[in-house]
Structure 1
Amino acid sequence: MCGSPVLAQSSAAPAGITLDSAISRALANSPELTTFGYQINARQGDVEQAGLRPNPELIVSIENAAGTGEFAGTDGLETTLSIGWILERNKRQYRVNAAMAGVSAMEVAAESKRQEVAAQTARLFLDSLVVQQRMELLTYSVALYEAEVEFARKRVDAGRLPRMNLTRSQATLEMVKLDLEDAEHELRTAIRRLAAQWGELQPDFTAISGDLRILPQPVDYDELLARVESNPELLQNLSESALREAELRLAQAVAKPSWRVTAGIRRHEQTDDVALVAGVIVPLATSDRNQGGIAAARARLAVTNAEREALQIRLKTQLFALHQELLHSLHQSGAFRDEIIPLLESVEADIQQAHESGRYSYRELWTVQSELVEARMASIEANANAHRMAIEIERLIGAPLSAAGKP
């Protein structure tokens, strides 16, 4: 997931890390994913332990010793040596089933965490890319204001403009430079946070390769809704439900008492004879039949099922909101790309031509150029919002947007 070309690299993008590379690194080396391997190994150990048979018992009993009369001393001694086994009556299989359900639940949790790591990596990649593109526009803005300051200085020196206009332009230039410096610090921090996704404290890259203008494609809501069942949280709930059902079966099995059988030999001291002995011990379940354990297991299963119903409602509502936000962001992006920015660029070209012929002042050219910068800044944010919504939808349906609606 989060590997769709919504943040694909363009031919004009600066050399740097790509989204696919960032996600691959995070999935291979994320500190958050390392613990799941150990936890799965622990659960597999539980399966092995659950499959072990109870050890047999060695039973030694002595009868008719240290009595009176003919039973005085050891004359009438009877010694019995036997081995006992517990008949579990399928309890071992229920223990194994519960342990295996625990392994499955942990594997689903690990996959859910992998998808969350991928989504978080995509978010941090997007944040870094947005800051980088803002820096490019801010750099252009600095150049514009520097030209404005130079223009104002010439006008002041020629006595055609009050000095306060130059001072105002200089102050504005310094403020834009501060914005650029802030963005530079913000980019370094964003890159460090991105690299931390795969446990790297000293990033080996300084730039992000991507193009916000390559937007996610709109997908029909009903197609997305059909993919909600693949949501990682919902899959976790289903695996949790399977675990709770296995625990309930085990609790019910434990309620049935285990029989014990014994077999051995008995030696009679008086006659020096040996005989075989055998026995069966059947517990009488007159009181505790694990009613409390069964009730608790049933309650935990009911809680899991109720949580699933609430989760489905929440996911579908969230999906609808994200889908609406995606459509709105795509509409905004299209408006900036197809209408607002082309119109301002056309005005800029006309004023540039008029300025060169002396019909417009530099101030008018600078004004439209500033408006164009603001529009491009707003376009970056609209594009970024579209990508953010796409990332969240992909996380919610557990698949790239391009896979929505596919079997």
Structure 2
Amino acid sequence: MIFQFLSGFPLALLGAAALVTISMPSNAADPPAPRRVAQAAPAPVTSPPPDVGARIMVTSPEQAVNLALARAPILRSAEAGRRAAQGDLVQAGLRPNPEAKIDNQSFIASGPYRGGSPLETSLGLSQRIETAGKRQARVETAGRALALTGLDVEAARLDLVREVVRALAGAVASARAVEIGRERVRLADEVLRATRARVEAGREPLVQQRRAEVARETAAVGFERLQREAAEALRALSVLLAAPRVEISAARAAWFDNIGPRPDLAREPALPSSQLDRARLNALVDQRRAELDLQRRNAVPDVTINGAVSRLREASQTATGTAFILGLSVPLPVFDRNQGNILRAGAEVNRAEADAERGRLYLDASLTDGERRLDQSWRAADSLRRIVLPAAGEAAASAREGYAAGKFSLLEVLDAQRALSDAREQLNAALLEMQQVRADIARLRGRAATPTPASAPAGRQ
């Protein structure tokens, strides 16, 4: 629709009318662009880079977790992702920019129009008006994405806490395994010395000395392997703490020995719907549904309003005039109706719903399995500490004394030492599994729990 007014309208009045056209709202249902969006979530202040050359002495899980939360680059990466989503939210609330246009008719002409001024000069503005609530749908989609990234940041924090606790427990267990291996070598040396004395005295054949030497060398090889594993465990912990070198004191790790009361499998209910991982699954479904709604709204064509002021002149230059032109353009959705994007968004919704269902089943199964493993490791640690380890220690000491007095054979001594070392290793492994499973369960329940030391190792009363 084009209206031409050849009467001389004042230029200022026509310009004001064009600006009024530009300021028209894009949709009656669209809310005004919220100014607070750009200021709602200021970028957090990041701490300066840590001193990567410092050596760190870790004495407790709380200290290790605090160091990791302050130094780990994975959290800075997650925070950057959230700030990027905040930028998407700001951008989603912005309206389309107006467009300016200048037209000169007969700028280069021939014949009677040569050398004269243009017959028509137009100055126009156009504004695309979004329909069907597109801007509101964009803001909704970006807001859902921002909420999802916020949950991702919290999940990254809890994952880091779990991994730090697991790595610290593994480092302590590896250090204690080294001590167990060193004790095994020491006991093998004692048996070897006693065997040599008995062989020299003629009370044992030489083959018994060879057997004791084999046992001693086997213990030494195992000790070297345990040392390598302990060094690897410390390196894994140092990576999580973003430090080149980490040291621990396994002898002072009272928290590692605290098994606490026996777990009550019926004490805590299953995971609630507000649990972090469940909330992430639900948030992803909501975000995909918002994206589908946006793509459906994008199928509705937008309207573009044009306004222009034209200066008209006849070829004889005897008459001039001013015209005000209004235009309206709408794309015809003949071929492109956004079918592909709608189809893709619908498939993404179906996939998110299926992933959410699978994720909920996995979370429930993981929690049940973790609680069962915690109960088994607690019972193993309690039994090994109260019954097996004291009995194995007494049996090994009696066997060594009896062998020196000629009451027991070398094979019996070696069996007693092996039983003692096995009991110590099993207790160490049970304590490690218990601490790591506790960290896994705390993560499943959405908690940043760390082990606590006790004045005396707890167990069955």
TM category (shorter chain) comes to 0.7 to 0.9
Which residue pairs with 1:100 in the alignment? Answer: 143
Are residue 184 (structure 1) and residue 222 (structure 2) matched? no
Counterpart amino acid of residue 47 in structure 1: L
CA distance in 1, matches of 2:434, 2:190: 34
Deviations 1:318-343 (CA, angstroms, capped at 9, x unpaired): 22222222212212122212222233
SS of 1:225's partner is coil
Aligned residues: 386
Aligned partner letter, 1:146? D
The amino acid that maps onto 2:97 is N
Could you tell me how far 1:148 is from its partner in structure 2? 1.2
Q: Secondary structure at the match of 1:84?
A: strand
In 2, Cα distance between equivalents of 1:338 and 1:149 = 30
Match of 2:383 among 314, 335, 350: 335
- Whole-angstrom CA distance in 2 between matches of 1:361 and 1:75: 124
TM superposition shift of 1:176 = 0.9
Indicate which of 193, 196, 201 corresponds to 1:150. 193
In the alignment, structure 2 segments of 5+ residues that lack a partner are 1-56, 452-461
**Which residue in the other structure is 1:30 paired with?**
72
Tell me the alpha carbon deviations over residues 272-311 of structure 1, each in whole angstroms, 9 at most, x when there is no partner. Answer: 2324333333344455332332222122112101110111
Q: Is the 8 A contact 1:336 1:379 kept in 2?
A: yes
Question: Distance in 2 between the 1:76 and 1:382 partners?
Answer: 93
TM-aligned CA deviation for residue 94 of structure 1: 2.3
* Residue in structure 2 matched with residue 54 of structure 1 by the alignment: 96
2:158–2:448 contact (8 Å) kept in structure 1:
no
Task: Tell me which residue corresponds to 2:212.
Answer: 169
Tell me: CA distance 1:374–1:68, structure 2 relative to 1, closer, same or farther (3 Å).
Answer: closer
For 2:275, the equivalent position in structure 1 comes to 230
2:87 paired residue number: 45
1:322 aligned onto 2:370? yes
Displacement of 1:42:
2.9
1:240 paired residue among 272, 275, 284: 284
- Distance of 2:58 and 2:78 partners within structure 1: 31
Alignment partners' CA distance in 1, 2:404 and 2:203: 19
**What percent of counterpart residues are identical?**
24
210-219 or 380-389: bigger deviation: 210-219
**TM-score w.r.t. length of structure 1:** 0.81
In structure 1, runs of 5+ residues without a counterpart are: 1-14
1:346 and 1:167 mapped to 2: Cα distance? 26
Query: Do the aligned partners of residues 29 and 357 (structure 1) sit closer, same or farther apart at CA in structure 2, a change above 3 Å counting?
Result: closer
Match in the other structure for 1:308: 356
Question: 1:154-173: CA deviations, max 9, x gaps?
Answer: 22222212122122112211
Higher helix share: 1
Contact 2:121 2:311 in 1 (8 A): yes
Structure 1 window deviating more from structure 2 (210-219 vs 182-191): it is 210-219
1:267 alignment partner in structure 2: 311
Is 1:249 the counterpart of 2:297 in the alignment? no
- Aligned pair partner of 1:380 in 428, 442, 445: 428
CA distance in 1, matches of 2:171, 2:428: 12
Structure 1 residues 145, 228: CA separation in 2 closer, same or farther (over 3 Å shift)?
farther
Give me the CA root mean square deviation.
3.5
Q: TM-score, normalised by structure 2?
A: 0.73
* CA deviation profile, 1:132-187 (whole Å, cap 9, x unmatched): 11122222222222221221122222221212212211221121122112212221
Q: Distance in 1 between matches of 2:330 and 2:365?
A: 56
Deviates more, 1:385-394 or 1:126-135: 385-394
Aligned equivalent of 1:193, options 225, 231, 236? 236
Q: Which residue of 1 aligns with 2:9?
A: none
Residue aligning to 2:54: none
Match of 2:247 in 1: 205
Counterpart pick for 2:127 among 75, 85, 92: 85
